[in-house]
Structure 1
Amino acid sequence: MKNTLLHKAKTLLSYILIISAGLGIGIGAKYGLDLYNQQPNLISQNTNPHYKGVDSKVIIYTTQWCPYCKKAKQYLTDNSIDYIERDIESGSEEINRLYKSIGYPGVPKIVIGNKIINGFNESLLSNVLSSQDLL
């Protein structure tokens, strides 16, 4: 009787350890993958091609359906910042080429000087605009 009870306890403990290890590995793998795929908030690169033939100091790559694009445009408008909007779904090959040159998917992408803000982050946008004497 004691051996059977001890055997059942050991088996149950083994199952619990195996399941716990599996969960730990799975959660760790997901965290590692998320960290690996994380996009930078601020990208520094040569932005000269984005400004070719443009007078504005701010360019924003958007889509019509993106709520964060709308927030970014509203922020720029509220702060009297002139900008050029480039809709990446407009079908323009030039806009798509420039957008893809940034190297990270998603919108909005806000080009200011030699910096590109990846997404809408109000405090980062304020800092970059201030550093370019635009705010």
Structure 2
Amino acid sequence: MNQTTIVYTSALCPVCGMVKSFLDTLEIPYQEVNVDMNPVAMLQLITKTRRLSVPQTKINGKLISGFNPEKMMQALNGSLL
């Protein structure tokens, strides 16, 4: 399984914790990018998503907004085929 998962987060975001817990439960490795501490990443994320909100989860190139387990599983399962 060769997949890339990035979770864009903010320190004050409770939903970000839900996404990370979900991925941890599934034992899916991910890279966390805290946009509070990384203004360049924040601007890149806003450019890609046209949103000011986190969490944004990128699984194999697909961006998923908020905590959406169904879409996350679809993106993860697509990488297993």
Q: TM-score, normalised by structure 2?
A: 0.85
Runs of at least 4 residues of structure 1 off by over 4 A? none
1:100 is matched with which residue? Answer: 46
CA distance in structure 2 between the aligned counterparts of 1:69 and 1:85, rounded to whole angstroms: 10
CA displacement at 1:101 relative to structure 2:
2.0
CA displacement at 1:93 relative to structure 2:
3.3
Identical counterparts, % of pairs: 27
| Structure 1, unpaired ranges of 5+ | 1-55
2:30 is matched with which residue? Answer: 83
SS of corresponding position for 1:132 = helix
Whichever structure has more helix as a proportion of its residues is 1
Task: Specify the code of the residue in structure 2 equivalent to 1:120.
Answer: F
Aligned partner (choices 52, 57, 71) of residue 110 of structure 1:
57
Q: Does 1:132 align with 2:79?
A: yes
Contact 2:13/2:54 (CA < 8 Å) preserved in 1? Answer: yes
CA distance in structure 1 between the aligned counterparts of 2:54 and 2:9, rounded to whole angstroms: 6
Task: Specify the code of the residue in structure 2 equivalent to 1:60.
Answer: V
| Structure 2, unpaired ranges of 5+ | none
Q: TM-score, normalised by structure 1?
A: 0.53
Structure with higher Rg: it is 1
